[in-house]
Amino acid sequence: MRATRREFLAAAAAAPIISPALLNVQDKAGVKAPVMGEGAYTYEAIHDWGQLPPQIKWGNTHGVVEDAQGNIHIHHTVHATSDSADTVVVFDRAGKFVRSWGKEFRGVAHGLHLQKEGGDEFLYLTVTAAGPKMTPQPEMHSVVVKATLKGDIVWKIQGPPDVDAYKPGPDEKPRPYNPTNLAIGPTGDVYVGDGYGSYYINQYTAKGEYIRSFGGRGSEPGQLLEPHGIWLDTRGGTTASQAARSTKPPPTGPTGASAPVLVVADRRNNRLQRFSLDGTHLDFIPGFRLPCHFDQHEGLLVVPDLHGRVTLVDSHNTAVAHLGDSGDPNWNNPLRREPREKFIPGRFICPHGACFDRDGNIYVVEWVEVGRVTKLRKVA
């Protein structure tokens, strides 16, 4: 995420459901890690997790996932002073460096999704558009890539679909396309969020063949303002208030059970928006600042909120905790451009991606110029 694409009105801050406790933040010995949250949602914050090799320096850390072996994969833009241009960095569970790859995405690395397909796992990467002044220019940009865990590219979708929504209008200017994240449907369909472009969700088959587009710029039901993240929700949770607000009946599968739904981080509208798999608007989930993306563990959803906190949502789509609130009124916290020693322990700056590991710990990566990876070790 680049500041030149972020000059929009500051988002309204929703009141926390649970005021997070920040314990040991001022620990004089400098030994104890700060603790975030309370009750069942208490975590020890281990900042700057992972042992980077000397040839790699973090850029903006954007995406994070865990594979079946417990390895943690992180997608970052790469710092200007880094000797290595690799944008995907892999660590084992102890934080030891395993490997890196992805130099062709330097400067434009963004979304990261891991998908198990049969006995194999694949990484799906969304790579944003490169500005004309970016130096050096990346080898690949404005692309969606399917790759093996070691970086071998299986297929790619270059640029937007060839449909009317992206054709030049009366002004003859091309419609912007700038993908941010994606989700995989139950049949393998790929849903790509054009989060920094024209604000559509573009749906493709598992082989990358175009199916449809939905969304588009706006704030009305079915419209989106910066669909930054997208996720397939198989939990089947809907609150009574959501059911009352919904203009459509909840989707059901062939057995009558709740069907999976697509949840979109409708970021500039400060909400989540839910869709059926064919792109039909279902309802909204309010109460967010600038939601970025999603991951879930045993029904608990983690939503990194760019405006300085991480939100946890239960299976009924109710926020149950806000962790590490920066307290800064500015969503574009000036600390994100400062050296690491100025970061405040126990407080996030601009959380951009998050994932659970198999034990319920949470890894949070942030949109800061020198990168930041925090492991939230579950305490309770």
Q: Report the phi/psi class of residue 141: left, alpha or beta, with left for phi > 0 and alpha for psi in -120 to 50.
A: beta
Class of domain 3-378 (CATH, top level): mainly beta
Q: What mean pLDDT comes out for the span 190-216? A: 97
Q: Is 39's pLDDT higher than 90?
A: yes
Q: Is 63's pLDDT higher than 90?
A: yes
**Strand 181-184 vs strand 153-158: parallel, antiparallel, or unpaired?**
unpaired
Q: Is 23's pLDDT higher than 50?
A: no
Q: Is 2's pLDDT higher than 80?
A: no
Length of the chain in residues, anyone?
380
**Which residues have CB under 8 Å from 281's CB, separation 6+?**
221, 222, 247, 248, 273, 274, 275
pLDDT 10s digits, 163-173: 999 998 888 88
Q: How confident is the model at residue 32 (pLDDT cuts 50, 70, 90)?
A: confident
Q: What mean pLDDT comes out for the span 208-219? A: 97
Q: What is the DSSP letter of 175?
A: P
b/e sequence 16-43, b meaning 16+ C-beta within 10 Å: eebebebbbbeeeeeeebbbbbbeebbb
Q: What mean pLDDT comes out for the span 311-318? A: 95
**Which residues have CB under 8 Å from 249's CB, separation 6+?**
none
Cα gap 370→350, rounded to integer Å: 12
pLDDT 10s digits, 293-314: 999 999 999 999 999 999 999 9
Q: What is the 3-state secondary structure (H, E, C) of 149-172?
A: CCCCEEEEEECCCCCHHHCCCCCC
What's the pLDDT at 31? 64
Residues facing residue 201 across a β-bridge: 193, 214
Mean of the per-residue pLDDT values of the chain: 89
What's the pLDDT at 272? 98
pTM above 0.85, yes or no: yes
pLDDT 10s digits, 77-128: 999 999 999 999 999 999 999 999 999 999 999 999 999 999 999 999 999 9
